[in-house]
Amino acid sequence: MMIARWQIDARFVYKQEALNCLQRWNDEIATQIGIDQSKVRLQTGCIGAKESTIEMEMQIENLAQLEDTWKEMSKIEGHNAWSKEMEKFVVSATPVWTIFRVL
């Protein structure tokens, strides 16, 4: 089992809008590509982390599952529109994926 984390930094005063947009992605896009919502969580920086940092973390079985998820995402028409809307709330060059192996 693995944990895939997508991390972004929200632009100043846009953290809530970024969180709302991510939640809408979970409700509208993730469900179309079969992501189990019980294996997804959102978290934000609090102590010892930047307050503007937002992470969406997803439990996956292996890298092949993540690759399949990305392929399916690219086929969804609404994902491109969502990305353009989300871009307004994110500090440029901060999005990053990290993958952790669960022991």
Q: What is the pLDDT of residues 30-65, one digit of tens each?
A: 989 989 989 999 999 999 999 999 999 999 999 999
Does residue 16 have a pLDDT over 90?
yes
Q: Which domain holds residue 33?
A: 2-101
Which pairing describes strands 96-101 and 2-9: parallel, antiparallel, or unpaired? antiparallel
Domains held by the chain: number: 1
CATH of the domain at 46: 3.30.70.100
What pLDDT, on a 0 to 100 scale, did the predictor assign at position 101?
97
pTM above 0.95, yes or no: no
User: Helix, strand or coil for residue 88?
Assistant: coil
Token pair 């952790």 is at which residue? 100
Rounded to an integer, what distance in angstroms lies between the CA atom of residue 14 and that of residue 49? 17
